[in-house]
C-alpha cells in the first residue's frame, strides 16, 4: 500500500475522529442503548404505584367475592393494589348502571368498572371499561382470576375437586433447562438471552454500516461538488483515493464499534448487579441478564463482519456518490442498496432461530446478506462455530476485492463528471473500459 493511500486514510480518519460529534456520539451510544434496554424497568421506579378503584357489576352473583379474594395483592408500603366496590343492580338495570359508571370513570371517581353478565358460564365474556386499557399486566391478572373461577365451576359440576386437579397440574409442571452441545461438552445457555444479545449486536452492526456508508457517499459528493477531487486526482490515482477514503472511514466505524463493544463486554458481566443497585430485581430479567454472555470470540467476529461488510457496502456507496451531483440524487440512487441491507436484517431473525438450517447456511454466504446474517449465526451458536462461516468470510473478502475493482472503474470517471447523471448504458461502458 502506497504512502499516498496511507495519507488519505489518515486524513479521513483523523479529521473525523477528533470532531465533537464523533466523541459525543461514541460516548452517548452505549448509554442510549442501555436506557433503551433497561429504561422500561428503571423509569418504572419513578412512578409511585396507587390503589386502583374498580367497581364491579356482578349480574351472576357468583363471581365477585371469589375474584376479590384472589386479587388481594398489596403494593409497596402495604397499601392494597385494588379497592373493589360491588355495584348492586337490584333497583336499576345493568345498562343504566353501566351508564352511571361510565360517568364516574370520566369524572375520575373510579378508575374502571367490570361488567360480569348473568350468563358468564356460557357466554364467557366480561367487559372491562376504563379511561385507559393499556395496562396488559392488570388485564391479564383479572382475566386469569375470572377464568379460574369459571373453570372451577365446571370442574365442580363434573364432581371433581378444583383444588385436587390444580395440585395434580402443579405436580406435573417441569422446568425445561436448555444446554448447548459443543465440542467440549454441554454448556448452559438460554434461548431468550441468546436471541436478545444477537438482535442488539446485529442491529448495531446493521446501523453502523448504513450510517458510515452514507458518510462515504456524502464525502464523495462534497469533494466532487467543490471541485476538490480534480486537485486530488492530479497527484493520486482514483483507485487509491477510493481505497483510502473507504478504509479511513471504515477505521472510524471500527473505533466506535470497538468502544461500544467493550461496553457490552462489561455490561454482559456486570449489568445484573447494576439493575439490582437500582432496586430492579425481577427474577425473569435477572435470569436473562445472567445468561446473556458476550464472549471475546463473538466480539471479534462482530469487528470482522463490520470491517468486511462495510468495505463491501461503502465501496458501492462511494460508487453511487461518484455518479451523482447532489445528495438528493444520491438518496434516490441508494434506495435499492438500503432496501437490500434492511432485508438482511429481517433475514437475521429467521437465521438466528435456525442457525444450522440449510437456508441460513446459504444466505450467510451471499455477500449482500452475510455481514448481518453470518454474524447472527455466530452470535447465537457461540461457543460453537456454525457450518459455512469460514466460507462466508472468504467469499466476503473476495467480494470486497471484486467490488473495489469494479467500482473503481466507475469511480475514476464519475468523480470528474458534472452535470447530467450518467445512464445505465454509460456506466456499463465505463466498467468495460480498461
What domains can be seen in the chain, in order of their start residue? 3-40+189-432 (no CATH), 52-164 (3.40.190.10)
**Strand 179-182 to 185-188 pairing:** antiparallel
Q: According to the model, what pLDDT value does residue 113 have?
A: 92
Residue 1 pLDDT greater than 60, yes or no: no
Q: Give the residue carrying C-alpha cell 442510549.
A: 32
Q: Is the pLDDT of residue 270 over 70?
A: no
Tens of pLDDT along 239-260?
878 888 888 888 888 988 888 8
Q: Is 185 helix (H, G, I), strand (E, B) or coil?
A: strand
Write out pLDDT tens, residues 367-377.
999 999 998 88
CB 83 within 8 A of CB 120: no
CA–CA distance, 19 with 24 (Å, rounded to integer): 9
Question: What residue has cell string 456508508?
Answer: 213
Residues 67-117: tens digit of each pLDDT: 999 988 887 767 888 899 998 877 777 778 888 899 999 998 999 999 988
Q: Which residue has the higher pLDDT, 198 or 291?
A: 198
User: Do you find a cis peptide bond into 383, omega within 30 degrees of 0?
Assistant: yes
Confidence of residue 147 (pLDDT cuts 50, 70, 90): very high
Query: Which residue did the predictor score with more confidence, 31 or 97?
Result: 97
CB contact at 8 A, 229 and 258:
no
3-state helix, strand, coil in the chain (%, to 5): 70, 5, 25
Query: Average pLDDT, whole number, for the chain?
Result: 81
Under the banding of pLDDT at 50, 70 and 90, the label for residue 289 is low
For the ranges 5-14, 141-150, 210-219, the one whose mean pLDDT is highest: 141-150
Q: Which is more confidently placed, 37 or 9?
A: 9
The pLDDT of residue 163 is above 60: yes
pLDDT exceeds cutoff 60 at 360? yes
Q: Buried b vs exposed e over 380-392: b needs ≥16 C-beta within 10 Å?
A: bbbebebbbbeeb
Find out whether 279 and 363 touch, Cβ atoms under 8 Å: no
pLDDT at 143 over 90: yes
d(C-alpha 334, C-alpha 341), whole Å:
11
| Percent of the residues in the chain that have a pLDDT greater than 70, as a whole number | 84
| pLDDT at 39 (0 to 100) | 60
C-alpha distances (whole Å) from 312 to each of 99, 139, 238, 318 are 65, 49, 18, 10
More confident residue, 233 or 283: 233
Determine the 3-state secondary structure of 74 from DSSP. strand
The CA–CA distances, whole Å, from 372 to 205, 212, 342 equal: 7, 15, 10
Contacts 24+ apart (CB under 8 A), 413-421: 413/322, 414/319, 414/322, 414/323, 415/220, 415/223, 415/224, 415/229, 415/233, 415/238, 415/241, 415/322, 416/229, 416/230, 416/233, 417/323, 418/224, 418/325, 419/325, 421/323, 421/324, 421/325, 421/329
Average pLDDT over residues 20-38: 76
Give tens-digit pLDDT for 374-404: 988 888 887 778 888 999 999 999 999 999 8
H/E element, 232: helix 228-232
Amino acid at each position: 500500500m502506497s504512502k499516498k493511500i496511507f495519507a488519505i486514510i489518515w486524513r479521513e480518519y483523523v479529521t473525523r475522529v477528533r470532531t465533537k460529534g464523533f466523541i459525543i456520539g461514541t460516548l452517548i451510544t452505549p448509554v442510549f442503548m442501555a436506557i433503551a434496554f433497561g429504561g422500561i424497568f428503571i423509569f418504572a421506579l419513578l412512578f409511585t404505584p396507587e390503589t386502583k378503584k374498580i367497581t364491579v357489576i356482578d349480574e351472576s352473583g357468583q363471581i365477585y367475592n371469589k375474584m376479590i379474594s384472589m386479587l388481594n395483592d398489596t403494593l409497596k408500603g402495604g397499601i392494597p393494589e385494588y379497592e373493589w366496590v360491588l355495584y348492586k343492580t337490584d333497583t336499576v338495570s345493568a345498562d343504566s348502571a353501566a351508564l352511571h359508571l361510565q360517568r364516574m370513570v370520566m369524572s375520575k371517581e373510579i378508575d374502571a368498572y367490570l361488567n360480569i353478565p348473568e350468563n358468564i358460564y356460557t357466554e364467557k365474556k366480561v367487559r372491562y371499561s376504563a379511561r385507559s386499557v393499556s395496562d396488559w399486566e392488570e388485564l391479564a391478572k383479572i382475566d386469569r382470576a375470572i377464568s379460574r373461577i369459571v373453570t372451577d365451576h365446571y370442574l365442580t359440576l363434573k364432581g371433581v375437586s378444583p383444588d385436587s386437579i390444580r395440585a395434580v397440574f402443579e405436580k406435573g409442571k417441569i422446568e425445561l433447562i436448555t444446554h448447548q452441545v459443543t465440542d467440549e461438552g454441554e454448556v448452559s445457555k438460554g434461548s431468550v438471552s441468546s436471541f436478545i444479545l444477537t438482535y442488539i449486536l446485529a442491529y448495531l452492526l446493521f446501523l453502523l454500516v448504513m450510517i458510515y456508508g452514507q458518510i462515504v457517499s456524502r464525502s464523495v459528493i462534497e469533494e466532487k461538488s467543490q471541485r476538490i477531487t480534480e486537485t486530488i486526482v492530479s497527484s493520486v490515482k482514483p483507485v487509491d483515493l477510493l481505497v483510502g477514503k473507504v478504509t479511513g472511514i471504515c477505521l472510524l466505524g471500527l473505533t466506535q464499534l470497538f468502544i461500544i463493544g467493550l461496553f457490552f463486554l462489561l455490561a454482559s458481566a456486570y449489568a445484573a448487579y447494576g439493575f439490582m443497585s437500582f432496586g430492579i430485581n425481577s427474577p425473569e430479567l435477572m435470569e436473562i441478564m445472567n445468561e446473556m454472555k458476550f464472549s471475546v470470540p463473538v466480539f471479534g467476529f462482530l469487528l470482522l463482519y463490520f470491517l468486511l461488510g462495510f468495505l463491501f457496502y461503502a465501496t458501492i456507496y462511494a460508487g453511487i456518490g461518484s455518479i451523482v451531483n447532489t445528495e438528493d440524487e444520491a438518496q434516490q440512487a441508494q434506495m435499492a442498496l438500503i432496501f437490500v441491507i434492511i432485508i438482511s436484517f429481517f433475514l437475521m431473525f429467521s437465521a438466528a432461530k435456525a442457525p444450522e438450517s440449510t437456508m441460513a447456511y446459504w444466505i450467510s454466504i451471499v455477500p449482500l446478506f452475510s455481514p448481518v446474517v453470518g454474524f447472527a449465526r455466530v452470535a447465537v451458536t457461540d461457543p460453537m462455530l456454525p457450518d459455512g462461516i469460514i466460507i462466508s468470510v472468504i467469499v466476503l473478502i473476495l467480494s470486497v476485492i471484486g467490488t473495489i475493482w469494479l467500482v473503481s472503474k466507475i469511480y475514476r470517471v464519475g468523480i470528474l463528471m458534472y452535470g447530467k447523471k450518467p445512464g445505465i448504458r454509460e456506466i456499463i461502458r465505463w466498467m468495460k473500459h480498461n
